[in-house]
Amino acid sequence: MHIKTATFIISNTDVAKCPNEPLPEYAFIGRSNVGKSSLINMLTERKSLAKISGRPGKTQLINHFKINGNWFLVDLPGYGYARVSKKSKKTFQKYITDYFAKREQLVCAFVLVDIRHEPQKIDMEFMEWLGQNAIPFCIIFTKADKLKPKAIERAINAYLAELIAGVWEEAPQYFVTSSSKKMGRDDVLGYIDAINDEFFKKTLR
Ligand code: GTP
Ligand code: MG
């Protein structure tokens, strides 16, 4: 897919104030620092569309970016990081769960996980929560440039095995990406393109 336009539209913490056009929307979620904002820039080939930082907690709002005039990418704050109490660190911020629970335009959530890390409880819990709320999601493994091909394969197999050993009957669709190496771009955009096609076929019917 060619990205002709990628435009920042609005930031907020209230799902009711998100753009109200009936366009398909894809949200990027995961632990702080996993590379959500970097991935959005990589996919759109825009260096600083989404704000990036080496320090966790950079993205603090729900950010809507309109792509090619007819779909949205959404950059979200990370979970699992808070300078406040341990208790609030464990829970997902209310406005983020509200966004997922109420956003009708959301067609797929991309849950990002750092390919170097073992499955983390907070990611597992978030995926379970998405499942319970019937929200479709895929896993995006990030920072694949940090591992060699064999280690990538091992990491993915171990991750998927743990999912299947848990509550999931089958492994979700997944993608392997590196924002610094531009890896996985065509796969993720191809997936989005296919969903968009379905979406517009249905709405034109
Ligand atoms: P928050 O907004 O704080 O939740 O973080 P985020 O998930 O948006 O992460 P962000 O894109 O800001 O990236 C965090 C750090 O990881 C930055 O230092 C990035 O340069 C680095 N990073 C992101 N993607 C990659 C990648 O594919 N490879 C490598 N090596 N580093 C990456
Ligand atoms: Mg961010």
d(CA 76, CA 36): 8
Residues 6+ apart with CB under 8 A from 201: none
Asked if residue 164 belongs to a domain, the reply is: yes
- pLDDT of 88 strictly over 70: no
Of 179, 181, 183, 185, the one to substitute when testing ligand 1's pocket (max ligand atoms within 8 A of C-beta) is 179
The CATH number of residue 178's host domain is: 3.40.50.300
Note the pLDDT of residue 144: 98
**Residue 30 falls inside a structural domain:** yes
Looking at the chain, the whole-number percentage of residues with pLDDT higher than 90 is 83
Residue 80, ligand 1, Cβ within 6 A: no
CA of 114 to the centre of ligand 1 (A): 10
How many separate domains does the chain show?
1
**Ligand 2 centroid to residue 165 C-alpha, Å:** 30
Q: Does 89 have pLDDT greater than 60?
A: no
Q: How many CA atoms lie within 13 A of 114 on its CB side?
A: 12
Domain carrying residue 131: 6-204
pLDDT tens for each residue of 54-79: 888 888 899 999 999 999 999 999 98
**Is residue 1 in a domain?**
no
Ligand 2 center from residue 79 Cα (angstroms): 10
191 found inside a domain: yes
pLDDT score for 148:
97
Quick check: is 94 in a domain?
yes
The pLDDT assigned to 9 comes to 97
146 within domain boundaries: yes
Dihedral sign computed on CA atoms, order 85, 132, 177, 12: negative
Tell me the residue type at 101: A
pLDDT band at 203 (very low <50, low <70, confident <90, very high): confident
Say if 127 falls within a structural domain. yes
Q: Which residues are close to ligand 2, an ion, with C-beta < 5 A?
A: 36-37, 58-59
